[in-house]
Structure 1
């Protein structure tokens, strides 16, 4: 069974409370801060593709932002794509990241490194007659983003194979988004992204999303997003033969403290 493997970027709202709190671009913090977050989503989508078999996922993270502009953090989510693809272990994703945020005039920038760690995954052991079908799911990326006003552009580059796809080092993801403050605690985030999977033409696709967010106060926030992709179903599907990149509604609730 040939299947492209992709997991949980920009923006927290776009991913419906997915791990991209760290991927958002903003000016350096005025003071150092340590924060924690926990949430639930109706479907864990990353770059438009479901990581949780179109089912709910639990997520949590911790972030430290230094007043100098440097930051580090970790974020985790339950997933099902590794087991679905290969019947091997791997039901938790942990993202480890660090970087620097600053500004030059009116332009904010964010550069950093992101490690996707799939706890206990044995994806690289899957083979037919000794020929490996995948590499390890663990992936390393570097990224850079710039923000001007409401608009953000971000580029992510894979230093390793991308999410288990063999010979995919050098894959990249281009993300364009905007964040509009609607007042009353509401925000609207349109997004479009392009995932290039090196040496795998059929795995390359475009994703899109429109997310409405609401700050409920006291650290609680909610999102509702319409998102989808033009990804080929022959690469992105569940064991029930449902396309994991089709357009759908994703809702989420997150508490930050």
Structure 2
């Protein structure tokens, strides 16, 4: 979930027609009272346009849904960096969440979620002047879905080494069934950064930035619990005005 790792109007119009990112992208919906899980292998881990792992990443998740609409879950991934030590080229991200989802009617549904992001051996990051920030982060997410269109907004709750409290991420995702059991997946995402909390660790240059847009296809492999996917990611910028490269992401996800 490294934010250092964006064209808004035109990209939204063109791509509105991927599957949302974070654990939300790779978790499966569980029936009431049922435990579900997944294991995925991707050629690289891209999050909000930034490269979290430029090598093969292993990802896994578990979700338990209660009959009242509440669910709890975990999602994790290997990383190509260590938040607290720039000399290390590997790490691990652990995401824990609690969510509530419900259907308004046949076409409309919603979800609210609180999540904690913990990085293996992350600890604390220090600046030369003594400023310090924890690498652990917390946010809340709200989603509103109409059929296959999902609009979402998440807000950071506290300062972290890679984000300010009040940072907001907005996204739209749309999926469409294609012939031969293929699915077209598209999405676009942008951030509104809260620069009022900047310090020597975070110095925001863009208060608003288009982060990424995605277009891709996925297909369930017959007689298996696996889904193969291919996404083209159009990179934007981050709060530091870093340009993100376009990326091609291959994935194989096993559900159980």
TM-score bracket for this pair, using the shorter chain length: 0.7 to 0.9
Distance between the aligned counterparts of 1:187 and 1:117, measured in 2?
Answer: 32
Cα shift at 1:33: 1.5
Q: How does 1:105-120 map to 2 (within 5 A)?
A: 105=105, 106-120=107-121
The 8 Å contact of residues 203 and 232 in structure 1, kept in 2 or not, is answered as no
Offset at 1:215?
0.8
SS in 1 for 2:82: helix
Q: 1:232 to 1:34 in 2, by over 3 A?
A: closer
1:55 aligns to what SS in structure 2? coil
- 1-structure distance, mates of 2:239, 2:153: 25
8 Å CA contact retained: 2:76, 2:93: yes
Of 163, 171, 178, the residue aligned with 1:175 is: 171
Q: 1:191 aligns with which of 168, 181, 187?
A: 187
1:136 maps to what in 2? Answer: 134
Q: Name the CA distance, whole Å, in 2 between partners of 1:20 and 1:30.
A: 16
- Report the Cα distance in structure 2 between the residues aligned to 1:59 and 1:153, rounded to whole angstroms: 24
Superposed CA deviations along residues 36-92 of structure 1, whole A, max 9, x for unmatched, are 21111111011121101x222111111111222111100100112335973369711
Cα pair 1:89 1:120 within 8 Å, conserved: no
Asked if residue 211 in structure 1 is aligned to residue 209 in structure 2, the reply is no
Cα offset, 1:30, TM superposition: 5.2
Task: Determine the structure 2 residue equivalent to 1:42.
Answer: 43
Whether the aligned pair in 1 keeps the contact of 2:37 and 2:255 (CA below 8 Å) is yes
Q: Match of 2:23, SS?
A: coil
**Over aligned residue pairs, what C-alpha RMSD do you find?**
2.8
CA distance in 1, matches of 2:156, 2:43: 28
Quote the Cα distance in structure 2 between the aligned partners of 1:22 and 1:33. Answer: 17
